[in-house]
Structures are given as structure tokens and as C-alpha cells.
Amino acid sequence: MKKTPALRLLGIALVAGLGGHAFSLAFASRGEPVPVAGLMPGAVFLIIAGIVLYLGLRVKRYLDESRERAKTHPLTPRKHHIDMVVAYRIILAARAAAYTGAIGAGFYAGMCTYLAISGGGTLAGAILPLGFDALSALALAIIGLIVERWGTLPPNDRGSGGRAEEGASSV
């Protein structure tokens, strides 16, 4: 599995930022108040980031132990156990978190920028909550990228994929 390029996430965040700015502009051009999400999305982003980080640490410990066992004592009992299917799902969740964080960070930053430039929102009522949401989403994207990098296998280590493909083709 290829790593997610950070520049792709930056591009997604920029496009989402333009979308958030346009969303705010569309509401303001009709004379309606720009909707502000509040602090809840930021709190949810931080909770998801904590869960992804916790699960990613399990994968990291398992892979670090596997590398250590390969170098020193391959017959010693394992301290950390994880199913490879579960580990793969954790890495996919980290990738999804990185994309979600990039979209959220861009969108909320675009809305925050519009309100800051136009003077349409108060500092405590609109700009700070949107800034908190954007920073929380950015933290989610960064943690998603880090956890995804932790779970990558060396290029020469194919795991049991070859055996699974042989078994699937014979069925």
C-alpha cells in the first residue's frame, strides 16, 4: 500500500478552504447569517484523533517488536499481539482520518478566513470556534499521516499476501 502524499492532502485542504469561503460568501450575499459550527466538530476531531493514535500505537509496538525479534531472538514469546487484518484496518482508518482532517481543516479555515476578512463575525462567537475546529481537524490529519507511516511494512516484506492470493485463486 502506498503512503498518502502530504502534498495531496494540502491540495485537498486548499480546495476545501475555497469551498468553505464560497459557502460563507453564498450565505452572506443573500443577507443571511453565516452558519458557525461551534466547538463540537473540533471536539469530535480530537476524540477521533485520540482513538486513531491509540490504535496506531498498538500497530507500531507490534511492528517494532517484530523487527527486534528478527534481529535478536525470534523464538521468544511475544509481548504485543495484533491480527494483521485488524492492523490493516487501523492503517486504513488512519488514512481516512488524514483525508477527513484535511477536508475539515480547509473548510473551517476558509469559513474563518471569510469571517475575519469581512468583519461579519465576532471573535468569541464565530472566529475562535471555527479556528478551533480548523486546528483540531489539522491535528487529525497530521495524526492520521503519522499513524499511516507507522504501519508501513518494509518494501521487501510481503507478509502472507502471496499465500492468500494463491489460496483465493485456487477456490
pLDDT in tens, 110-119: 999 999 888 7
Ramachandran region, residue 131 (left: φ > 0; alpha: ψ -120 to 50; beta: rest): alpha
Per residue in 22-54, pLDDT tens?
999 999 899 888 888 889 999 999 999 999 999
Query: In one letter, which amino acid is 20?
Result: G
Q: Is 31 left (phi over 0), alpha (psi -120 to 50) or beta?
A: left
pTM of the shown model? 0.82
Tell me how far apart the alpha carbons of residues 13 and 100 are, in angstroms, rounded to a whole number.
10
Sign (positive or negative) of CA dihedral 58, 60, 62, 68: negative
Task: Give the length of the chain.
Answer: 171
pLDDT tens per residue, range 93-141: 999 999 999 999 999 999 999 998 887 777 778 889 999 999 999 999 9
Query: Do the Cβ atoms of 90 and 151 come closer than 8 Å?
Result: yes
pLDDT top residue among 23 and 160: 23
Q: Give the CA angle between residues 112, 113, 117 to the nearest 5°.
A: 120
Q: CA 153 to CA 10: how far, in whole Å?
A: 25
* Residue given cell 491509540 in the structure block: 54
